[in-house]
Amino acid sequence: FGGDVVVSGSLVAGRQTMVQRLFWAGGIANDDYRFPSGPEGVPTSTTHTMQHMWTVMGSGSIKALDLWVNEGSTAQCTVGIFINESSVSANTVHVTGSFVNHNILGTGNRGHLFIDFQDPANANFITGSNSFNPGDLITVGICKTAGGTFTNTMGTLYYEVDTTAPHTNLPGGVPG
Spatial distance between the Cα atoms of 54 and 47, rounded to a whole number of angstroms:
15
Give the up-direction half-sphere exposure of residue 39: CA atoms within 13 A in the CB hemisphere.
5
pLDDT value for 157? 96
pLDDT value for 10? 55
143-154 burial by CB neighbour count: b if 16+ within 10 A, else e?
bbeeeeebbebe
pLDDT value for 53? 84
Q: Are 60 and 76 in contact (CB under 8 A)?
A: no
**pTM of the full predicted structure?**
0.85
pLDDT value for 46? 78
Spatial distance between the Cα atoms of 94 and 117, rounded to a whole number of angstroms:
10
pLDDT value for 15? 87
Q: What is the DSSP string of the chain?
A: --S-----S--S-SEEEEEEEEEEEEEE-SSS-BB---GGGPPPBSS--GGG-EE-SS-EEEEEEEEE-SS----EEEEEEEES--STT--SEEEEEE-EEE-TTSSS-EEEEEEETT-GGGGGGEEE--EE-TT-EEEEEEEEEESS-EEEEEEEEEEEEE-SS---SS------
pLDDT value for 80? 93
Task: Report how far Cα 64 is from the mean position of its chain's Cα atoms.
Answer: 7
Per-residue tens of pLDDT for the chain, all 176 residues:
566 766 665 555 688 999 999 999 889 999 999 988 876 667 777 777 777 788 888 999 999 999 999 999 999 999 999 998 867 777 789 999 999 999 988 888 999 999 999 999 999 999 999 999 998 989 899 999 999 999 999 999 999 999 887 777 777 776 77
